[in-house]
């Protein structure tokens, strides 16, 4: 005699219950999500390329684009010496 599950409602979550979603073809929501994802990837790629490699902390802190102010000399000096953005890494 099969033992009934103490938490029958989560069978769908744990994979114990029947899995639905056996539709054929690519659903419309997948195409929409894929299009959005592709657009975002291309957008980020274009932004990175047009940034000329200056996509990094220095872009935000030393170019003065935050509030139109330039950083104090102490900040830029320390940033350029001991806190240079890591080479080769993601430097947003």
Partner 1 sequence: MNSRPRLRRFVLTAHIVSSVGWLGAVAVFVVLSVVGLTSQDAQVVRAVYLSMEPAGWAALVPLSLASLLTGLVQSLGTKWGLFRHYWILFKLLINVAATIVLLMYMQTLSFLAGIAAKTATSSGDLGGLRSPSPLIHAGLGLLLLLVAATLSVYKPRGMTRYGQRKQHELRTGGVLVEGPDERVQPDAA
Q: Which residues in the 17-46 window bind partner 1 by CB under 8 A? A: 19-24, 26-27, 29-30, 33, 37
Q: Using alpha carbons, list the distances in angstroms from residue 80 to 51, 60, 66, 90.
A: 19, 14, 18, 17
CA 23/CA 44 separation, integer angstroms: 33
Q: Is 52 in the site for partner 1 (CB under 8 A)?
A: no
Cβ–Cβ < 8 Å for 59, 41:
no
Q: Out of 35, 45, 51, 60, name the contact with partner 1 by CB under 8 A.
A: 60
Q: Is 3 near partner 1 (CB under 8 A)? A: yes
Tokens of 14: 């744990």
Binding site for partner 1 (CB under 8 A): 3, 5, 7, 10, 12-16, 19-24, 26-27, 29-30, 33, 37, 56-57, 59-62, 64-72, 74-76, 78-79, 82-83, 85-86, 89-92
């Amino acid at each position: 005699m099969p033992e009934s599950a103490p938490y029958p409602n989560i069978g769908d979550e744990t994979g114990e219950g029947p899995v639905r979603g056996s539709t054929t073809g690519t659903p419309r929501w997948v195409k929409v999500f894929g299009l959005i994802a592709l657009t975002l990837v291309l957008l980020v790629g274009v932004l990175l390329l047009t940034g000329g490699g200056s996509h990094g902390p220095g872009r935000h802190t030393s170019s003065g684009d935050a509030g139109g102010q330039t950083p104090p000399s102490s900040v830029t000096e320390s940033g350029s010496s001991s806190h240079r953005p890591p080479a080769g890494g993601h430097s947003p």
